[in-house]
Amino acid sequence: MEDLLNGDPYELDPLEQQVVAFFVDGVRVLGLPRSIGEIYGLLFISQTALSLDDLVRRLHISKGSASQGLRMLKSLGAVREAGDENERRTYYEPAIELKRLAGGFIREQIRPHLESGKTKITRLAETTRDIDDPERRKFLNERVERLETWMRSGGRVLPVLQKLLGQ
Amino acid sequence: MEDLLNGDPYELDPLEQQVVAFFVDGVRVLGLPRSIGEIYGLLFISQTALSLDDLVRRLHISKGSASQGLRMLKSLGAVREAGDENERRTYYEPAIELKRLAGGFIREQIRPHLESGKTKITRLAETTRDIDDPERRKFLNERVERLETWMRSGGRVLPVLQKLLGQ
DNA sequence: AGTATTGTTCAATTTTTATTGAACAAATAG
DNA sequence: CTATTTGTTCAATAAAAATTGAACAATACT
């Protein structure tokens, strides 16, 4: 409101835009909304911690988006609240260790699906038992076992992934 | 059209529905459309190869969806055309080796993004060089290096992933 | 006490993405 | 050659997902 004559002083400079765009693309690959990429991107390239209000003003996103975006980023361990405990508002800074980022993503977005997948396969195995035709049942059992193998592989891969990314 | 009195003989039985639902959920995690999961799911649980038309009739999806879905599944190496070269229409069967599935997904969906990411970071590094303030430039260089480290880690992880899933 | 500020929630809206179906091309059958 | 069958393409439509913004709660300031 207090910018007279000249452009909005909160506008992103070209480099900031480039970085934000980079992360917007990045999070889309992970299936996360663009606002997540914008927020993380701006934090990533900022030398100082930013408040929710800073993000709203500089990215031109709504308070709602910023609030929800920050919540998700916190749950992923991708941002943390900056020190200053006695400040009125809270400021955020990015976690930049790949280990932390990958770990959060695996924990929040991948593991739950793996778990629910295992449950569903168990239920599938039960349904398969009720099939009358023995030949059909044999085929189905093979397929269910295949799914179980997939899940086991998935379970084995995640820790390795985390180890490889954490250094 | 030729079903008299009774229900559509093409309707999925409960077990088929369960499997299809499983794959619909599965592909959503990967960021792929539900029709992909439906098609692959039905192929996965079918003892015989199915034609495009079979998929349309049994899943109640349009020819367009089936055609596009099969194209993507072929590009991912997740389905192949069944033998019978002299048949009029082509029949499809699923690839069920995790190695093949993961390999296709990595090749088609992950590697291209990694590559374009590297390119963008190179461009970022160039932009950073033009920054006047030396302190700001130093900070930016650190961040760009961090991104380069991430990409290197990503590049190192993929082959390991493939190896772990292939057995 | 009242008033400002900071942040959350969620129904309404917008934006994005997937799906449909009609038009079309290619290939085979009659 | 004409019909039919098989499959693709893509503009229009429907469905899903993200974003907004107004209402609200909580806390701090005067």
Label residue A1 by pLDDT band (50, 70, 90): very low
Contact status, residue A153 vs residue B164, Cβ threshold 8 Å:
yes
Distance B61 CA to C20 C1' (A): 9
Distance A65 CA to D24 C1' (A): 17
Q: What is the DSSP letter of B30?
A: T
Residue in B125, B158, B153, B33 with CA at minimum distance from that of residue A22: B125
Signed CA dihedral, A40, A44, A46, A48: sign only: positive
- Distance of alpha carbon B35 from its chain centroid, rounded? 12
Q: Which two tokens stand for residue A143?
A: 């397929």
Contact status, residue B114 vs residue B142, Cβ threshold 8 Å:
no
* Chain B CB within 8 Å of residue A44 CB: yes
Task: List the single best residue of B34, B118, B153 to mutate versus A (max A Cβ within 10 A).
Answer: B153
Q: What is the mean pLDDT of residues B9-15?
A: 85
Q: Which residue type does A147 have?
A: L
Contact state of A25 with B165 under an 8 Å Cβ cutoff:
no
Instruction: Give pLDDT tens digits for B121-148.
Output: 999 999 999 999 999 999 999 999 999 9
Per-residue pLDDT, A9 = 59
Per-residue pLDDT, B165 = 87
Q: Which nucleotide is nearest to B37 (CA to C1')?
A: C18
CA distances from A162 to A36, A97, A100, A105, B150 (A): 22, 12, 9, 10, 13
Whether the pLDDT of residue B4 is over 60: the answer is no
Q: What is the DSSP letter of A141?
A: H
Instruction: Give pLDDT tens digits for A68-127.
Output: 999 999 999 999 999 776 788 999 999 999 999 999 999 999 999 999 999 999 999 999
Per-residue pLDDT, B8 = 55
Label residue A131 by pLDDT band (50, 70, 90): very high
Residue in B156, B118, B124 with CA at minimum distance from that of residue B143: B124
Q: Is the CB of B136 under 7 A from strand C?
A: no
Contact state of B117 with A150 under an 8 Å Cβ cutoff:
no
Show contacts of B2-6: CB within 8 Å, 24+ apart. Answer: none
* Chain B CB within 8 Å of residue A18 CB: yes
Contact status, residue A120 vs residue A148, Cβ threshold 8 Å:
no
Residue that is written with structure tokens 């093949």 in the block:
B100
* Chain B CB within 8 Å of residue A156 CB: yes
Task: Report B:19-38 residues touching A (Cβ under 8 A).
Answer: 19, 22, 25-26, 29, 31
CA distances from B120 to A15, A26, A38, B151 (A): 12, 11, 16, 11
Per-residue pLDDT, A167 = 64
Per-residue pLDDT, A6 = 40
Q: Which nucleotide is nearest to B89 (CA to C1')?
A: D6
* Chain A CB within 8 Å of residue B14 CB: yes
Whether the pLDDT of residue B119 is over 60: the answer is yes
Contact status, residue B135 vs residue B108, Cβ threshold 8 Å:
no
CA distance A110 to chain B (A): 8
Q: Is the CB of A51 under 7 A from strand C?
A: yes
Task: Report B:54-93 residues touching A (Cβ under 8 A).
Answer: none
Q: How far apart are CA B101 and CA B121, in angstroms?
A: 29
b/e code A39-74 from CB counts within 10 Å (16+ = b): bbbbbbbbeebbbbebbbbbbebeeebbeebbebbe
Contact status, residue A130 vs residue A163, Cβ threshold 8 Å:
no
CB atoms within 10 A of CB B73: 23
Give me the A residues in range 61-90 that sit within 7 A (CB) of strand C: 63-64, 67-68, 70-71, 88-90
Q: What is the mean pLDDT of residues B56-67?
A: 97
| Averaged pLDDT score across all residues of chain B | 92
Q: Which two tokens stand for residue A79?
A: 């941002």
Torsion angle in degrees (nearest 10) through CA of B39, A114, B98, B83: -20
Per-residue pLDDT, B16 = 97
| Averaged pLDDT score across all residues of chain A | 92
pTM, entire model: 0.92
Please state the φ and ψ torsions of residue A16, each to the nearest 5 degrees. -60, -40
Mapping DSSP to helix (H, G, I), strand (E, B) and coil, where does residue A51 land?
A: strand
Contact status, residue A50 vs residue A43, Cβ threshold 8 Å:
yes
